[in-house]
Amino acid sequence: EAGVAQSPRYKIIEKRQSVAFWCNPISGHATLYWYQQILGQGPKLLIQFQNNGVVDDSQLPKDRFSAERLKGVDSTLKIQPAKLEDSAVYLCASSLEGLAGEDTQYFGPGTRLTVL
């Protein structure tokens, strides 16, 4: 079974530029998550989708970050304009339901973003 796919794996941009990340979840998984992980910290949830609807985006900096999940499958996360503090690893995860109980999140390889 194919895992969560993400691209690109690495991205270097200058501040004030824009960048987009792509994620393809495990087939059949209804829930998709985007996390930001600053070096040395645990992941921070940015947004959670259930199919193509947003469940939680309370920690998404909406003045510069946006995300969409078209047709309830693939998702893109965009940053525009980027700031130095956006340098981090962006992780995409998916799970079967997103509900209580043993609903395990499986992660992609991540995108390492460096903002200069």
Contact 81, 18 (CB under 8 A): yes
Least distance in Å: CB of 56 to other proteins?
7
Does 104 sit near other proteins (CB under 8 A)?
yes
Considering only 14-22, 40-48, 61-69, 76-84, which stretch makes contact with other proteins by CB under 8 A?
40-48
- Integer CA distances (angstroms), 87 to 32, 41, 102, 108, in order: 22, 13, 32, 18
Considering only 12-20, 21-29, 70-78, 106-114, which stretch makes contact with other proteins by CB under 8 A?
106-114
Q: By CB under 8 A, name the binding residues for other proteins.
A: 41-43, 45, 48, 56, 89, 91, 93, 98-110, 112
